[in-house]
Amino acid sequence: MAERVYEGMFLLDSNKYARDSAGISNGINEMIEKCGGEVLVSRLWSEQKLAYPINGQRKGTYWLSYFRMNTGKLTELNRAARLNVNVLRDLVITVDDRLVDTLVSHATGESKTEETGESVVTTATATAEKATTATATATATATATAEKATTETATETETAEKATTETTAETETAEKATTETTAETETAEKATTETETAEKAEGGV
């Protein structure tokens, strides 16, 4: 498979990053390289308050990386990022070949001052931030939907059990009524038999 240049945005645990920024940042690079990638540039992008808590964290550290990697290795990288205890969320997008030099230069602080180059970088960065937020929102929505479905299933189960209990009670009532009717029938038959016996006795007299 062909190699492409990718932009990786990794949302890190701010508390852990504050305690060991060098170790965690080097760990991101090592994770990419272990998956067969070549890191072009890797740096701190932003530290800011999150729109909503993630794993109990209200603040996140955004780490930006540009790297070259075989497209077949992306799945392995995504798995490694999910298993990395320092990474809260990650987003990897393909970089247009025409923008590679501009984006990498901007990330290293060597970008050109042309208005076009600045516009491209701003758009690409904003797109990455929006995509990261969308991914986190989609995950939260999917979790809430699953919890709602579980609650509805439990409610349906309770309703079915209640209906079964009511049906059982109705059946028992019907059986009791049948038993009482049978007893009344037997009593009536017994009374008829006694009447016939008495009539025969009177006739014999």
pLDDT at 116 over 70: no
Secondary structure class of 6 (helix, strand, coil): strand
pTM of the model: 0.54
Q: What is the extent of the structural domain holding 13?
A: 3-145
- Confirm whether 161 is domain-assigned: no
Beta-carbon contacts of residue 14 (< 8 Å; ≥ 6 apart): 47, 57, 59, 60, 61
Number of domains in the chain: 1
- Confirm whether 197 is domain-assigned: no
- Confirm whether 204 is domain-assigned: no
The pLDDT assigned to 184 comes to: 75
- Confirm whether 99 is domain-assigned: yes
- Residue 10 burial class via C-beta count within 10 angstroms: exposed 0-12, middle 13-18, buried 19 and up: buried
Q: CATH number, domain at 51?
A: 3.30.70.60
The pLDDT assigned to 204 comes to: 59
- Confirm whether 183 is domain-assigned: no
The pLDDT assigned to 117 comes to: 47
Single out the residue of 136, 159, 160, 140 nearest to residue 148, CA to CA: 140
- Confirm whether 12 is domain-assigned: yes
The pLDDT assigned to 203 comes to: 63
- Between 127 and 30, the more confident residue is 30
